Amino acid sequence: MAGMAARARELFQFGGLAAVRNFHPLVVHYPVALLTLSALLYVVAWGSRRDAWAWTAFWMLVLGTLGAALAVWTGLRAGAGVMVAQSVRDHILVHHKQLMIVVFAMSVALSGWAIAARPVPRRGRAAFIALMVVMALLLATGADYGAWMVYGYNAGGSLPQPIEFSQ
């Protein structure tokens, strides 16, 4: 029994959390997944004409928007502390930030529209679905910039800094 307790403590120590310089990497994945899936499920709901899919998409959109608020907030707070070269900030971080703020604004607007006409607007449905797809594509592009910083330029990592931008 003592061995199991020790193993449980070891499992839940969150050793990776000790290396995290800010909370942004811990929260970004949820809104990325939720907002992307909400767009996909709204398309499926539209094609299948099934309300259950639309309700699932609705809740994913609302929860994804709440998560996006937290992701944007933590990202803006973390920006100054990200250890990347100025050239990386100029070529990658600025685009990542702009795209994700646009995605957040779109998710707020689309959530408001969906809340007003739960679970999906009857009038302007095609425009709503198209904007959801555009939001998901912008989200994928912004997330790609974030991944490029992390994996291409060690943003938030422990390698010697700065690593200069290169094509």
Within-domain flag for 167: no
Return the exposure string of 144-158: e unless at least 16 CB atoms fall within 10 Å of the residue's CB, then b. ebbebbeeebbbbbe
- pLDDT of amino acid 157: 67
Calculate mean pLDDT across residues 110-125: 96
Is 15 inside a domain boundary? no
Please indicate, yes or no, if residue 160 is contained in any of the structural domains.
Answer: no
Q: Please check whether residue 3 lies inside any domain of the structure.
A: no
Give the residue, 159 or 24, on which the prediction is more confident.
24
> Among candidates 103, 108, 110, 114, which has minimal Cα distance to 140?
103
CA distance 113 to 110: 5
Residue 8 included in any domain: no
**pLDDT at residue 40, rounded to an integer:** 98
Query: What letter would DSSP give residue 101?
Result: H
Give the tens place of pLDDT for each residue, 86-111. 888 999 999 999 999 999 999 999 99
Instruction: Using pLDDT thresholds of 50, 70 and 90, give the confidence band for residue 3.
Output: low
What is the pTM (predicted TM-score) of this model? 0.86
Q: Do the Cβ atoms of 24 and 150 come closer than 8 Å?
A: no
109 is in which domain, residue-wise?
Answer: 22-153
C-alpha–C-alpha distance, residues 54 and 48, integer Å? 10
